[in-house]
Amino acid sequence: MRKVFLVMAFLSILGGCGGGGGDDQSPVADNPFFGEWDTPFGTPPFDRIKQTDYEPAILEGMKRHNAEIAAIAANPDEPSFANTIEAMDQAGEMLSRVSDVFGAMNGTMTNDEMQAIAKRIAPLRSKHRDAILLNSQLFARVDHVHGELAKLNLNTEQEKLVTETWKRFVRGGANLSAADKEKLKALNEELSVLSLQFGENVLKETNDFVMFVDKESDLSGLPAASIEAAAEAAAQRDHAGQWAFTLHKPSLIPFLQYSTKRNLREKMYTAYTMVGNNDNGADNKKIAARMASLRAERAHLLGFKSHAAYILDDNMAKTPEAVYELLNKLWVPSLAKAREEAAEFQAMIDAEHGGFKLAGWDWWYYAEKVKKAKYDLDEGMLRPYFELENVRAGLFDTVQKLYGITFTERTDIPVYQEDVKVYEVKNEAGDLVAIWYSDYFPRASKRGGAWMSSFRKEYKEDGRRVVPIIYNVGNFTKPTAAKPALLSVDEVGTMFHEFGHALHGMLSDCTYRTLSGTAVSRDFVEMPSQIMENWAFEPEVLDVYAKHYETGKRIPAELIDKLERSKHFNQGFASTEYLAASLLDMDWHTLETTKEQNVPVFEKESLARMELIPEIAPRYRTTYFRHIFAGGYSAGYYSYVWAEVLDADAFAAFQETGNIFDPETAARFKKYILAAGGSDDSMALYLKFRGKEPSIEPLLVRKGLK
């Protein structure tokens, strides 16, 4: 609990108003963020939250947080772990609560007004963060506790909290001169606004493109499910009797895989790879160039050669050189494999007397044809066995076997959209572990991709575990009037992947919010998610959930065998497009110059240095690379492959026992990885689980690159 001085100072700064709750006459009396939530488990009251509630609540949250921080900084007592470090971890509850909900809604239910609120709030939030991190009086207290760390007799998690708090101040500019602090504030503020605009532009460009087809002959090769979904999409856009194809992955990828109309594949592929690069109001070239320049300038101000050096100093990789070394180890065999695949596809084109050279818009199409020829397998054979609700049930069964947790749907908890489902998560003793939301289908108000976050993180209050409220978001194939949601192999893997992040949040057992759940280094956070993908297609897991949506029959053993034999197929492409994006990210963020770059020229030169073959584009090109320009992965997209090394090695620990559900291995993984959050150094936690340094060999074997 906070000491009395903090509470009294807080109330004094607020003028005795008790935190702005107000009486029945107050204009904020009906704003749910200003009071306690009487919903089940304290879940967000989405049935009462209005769009107009967010801005006043965020402003009040910052006001209250400022008051708490001022009280900590002004405390006359000698700085201690409790009255400084711990007090800071506990501060800002209201701001966190409203920000978490607003961030979720702006990502899943956005509109013009939500985006306008975000733009008004972003510079204010940037100023708010800087005001804390550049508060010299507060930093003096943090620095004092950090300097006394060896004498304080703290446990590992407490020591980590002290270290991380001190690092956050130093990396946030606490040691800068007054003039440089002002420069840093200006840089951070501009970057916060540009990042928002970049993401909005990607969403707008993605939503704005629609390819209408009015001739049935132009649907040649497409699966019935894709045609049906396109008809529904056209009807929703007042084009009944036609078919609409969009850049959302459930529409785009099947079109590229199956359409026999090469000119239409080219149109779809080109539109996707040109998002944010159309010289219109949603163009991202100038924004990306400006952000790279500002990030380099900020890194120099903070004493680093480049933005990548600044970011990686706080990650497991530590240096740009270490990242490039890892990426290049994989790049050489991956590119060689991709060249082999391209030659194989070209051979099929030539055999068909195609008379053209393989291009990017041909890759998915010929990959499917070659896979069918070599393994008698294609997506269309598998989708009927991957009905979304069955996959989710298989996912629940998998984690119950591993960690003893169960999921029960709750229909009495308010949701923000009709497709959202909520579950109560309990352990074997029947104790509540977490609340979990899923939001799986695309809509115009939702940004692309898939992710996990929280409405409330796990932490301890007076020794009692506060239950986390976690959510997963996806953009999976939607059900149609005739069929349920039938997922692709990639969508199944993504569901398992994002659920791994959710487990990291749900099973967290930390004392401090700052360190709980996914609050680990960026290149460690993907390990708990990626390891879950290993279970998705194991035969004994498939046997549980892969049932034909019409007959209920389990997936045939021969189909599982075909899937297993084809697992290395197209891995050159998959690895190369990912690695190319990772290298592009690193090239942008190892820039030491602050001169704004010409984006097309810079990207072209970057890809040329890699010797990327023209038939493959990076998974993300600069102008729609949300991860690095509108997300938290700048100089960090490599994290997925860094984590792949860890997850392949970690899954090998299960395989070595002869039981992929081995109880002892699962218990160690839960204790040292999922429950531990950021309470200790990431590699220290991994060593406690595995007992040895991770090896890259299992990853090379899994990808068929060795």
Sign of CA dihedral 610, 613, 614, 615: negative
CA distance 681 to 687: 10
Start-to-end Cα distance in the chain: 55
CA distance 587 to 692: 32
The answer to whether the beta carbons of residues 316 and 527 sit under 8 Å apart is no
Active-site annotation holder among 157, 341, 491, 498: 498
CA distance 577 to 227: 28
Residue written as token pair 């218990």: 667
Structural tokens at position 660:
């992929």
Output Rg (C-alpha) for the chain, integer angstroms. 26
β partners of residue 649:
none
The answer to whether the beta carbons of residues 312 and 304 sit under 8 Å apart is no
Residue written as token pair 């099973």: 507
Sequence-ordered list of residues with C-beta below 8 angstroms from that of 527, at least 6 positions apart, any chain: 643, 646, 647, 650, 673, 686
What is the full DSSP assignment across 440-492?
-S--TTS-SS-EEEEEE--EEETTEEEPPEEEEE--PPPP-SSS--B--HHHH
User: One-letter amino acid identity for 403?
Assistant: Y
Structural tokens at position 402:
């591993």
Sequence-ordered list of residues with C-beta below 8 angstroms from that of 24, at least 6 positions apart, any chain: none
* Residue 498 appears among annotated catalytic residues: yes
Nearest to 296 by CA among 198, 196, 187: 187
Structural tokens at position 252:
């785009």
The answer to whether the beta carbons of residues 618 and 595 sit under 8 Å apart is no
Torsion, Cα 343 346 352 354, to 10 degrees, reads: -160
CA distance 554 to 285: 49
The answer to whether the beta carbons of residues 506 and 516 sit under 8 Å apart is no
The answer to whether the beta carbons of residues 431 and 424 sit under 8 Å apart is no
DSSP state of 421: E
Nearest to 568 by CA among 703, 379, 377: 703
CA distance 699 to 706: 9
Structural tokens at position 228:
């049906």
β partners of residue 421:
438
DSSP 3-state of 79:
coil
β partners of residue 426:
406, 432
Residue written as token pair 């997209």: 637
CA distance 305 to 313: 11
CA distance 82 to 580: 47
Q: What Cα–Cα distance (Å) separates residue 172 from each residue in 72, 185, 187, 315, 678? A: 19, 10, 12, 16, 19
User: One-letter amino acid identity for 388?
Assistant: L
CA distance 570 to 559: 18
The answer to whether the beta carbons of residues 519 and 528 sit under 8 Å apart is no
* Residue numbers annotated as active site: 498
